[in-house]
Copies of this chain bind each other. A is one copy, B any other.
């Protein structure tokens, strides 16, 4: 996780900047991190960064496929650097905990609808909703 980040950026034709490296580190260190948490983490590392730069960096990284954006209902967008393995997510309705779930198929799209209405599909996003063990134990907090 050293200067690999730099080469990744360069290999996609992006400039290597301290802000982008810090954003990549934040996403890499904290799975399912939110934009706000990224901002905090980068500020800790660099002292300052504008909200704009964070969104911009995250947006570009997502565009380039370096990180993945997840936008579950009722929660701000989250980012993760586990890309390419097409895994899915499991979310607790009660505490919003988000857990990775491996995809049994492993390639995209891993599911095919009976009728695709002429669309050309590139991804099947699966979110499992349920209640996590902790929240099951303590139903109403």
Contacts and interface: CB of A to CB of B under 8 A. Distances in A.
Interface of A: 69-71, 73-74, 77, 88, 90, 92-93, 99, 101-102, 104, 109, 111, 113-133, 136
Contact of A121 (B117, B124, B125, B130): B130
A128 B133 contact: no
Given A71-B73, A99-B117, A115-B101, A125 B122 contact: no
Nearest to A69: B73
A1 to B, nearest CB: 26
Contacts of A126: 111, 124-126
A139 B109 CA distance: 21
5 contacts: A71-B74, A88-B113, A90-B121, A113-B128, A119-B132
Given A73-B69, A128-B123, A102 B90 contact: no
With a 10 A CB-CB cut-off, give which of A77, A122, A123, A129 has the most chain B CB atoms: A129
A129 B122 contact: yes
Given A93-B122, A102-B115, A121-B130, 18 more contacts: A69-B73, A71-B74, A73-B77, A88-B113, A90-B117, A92-B119, A99-B117, A99-B119, A101-B113, A102-B113, A102-B114, A111-B126, A117-B133, A119-B132, A122-B129, A125-B126, A125-B127, A125-B128
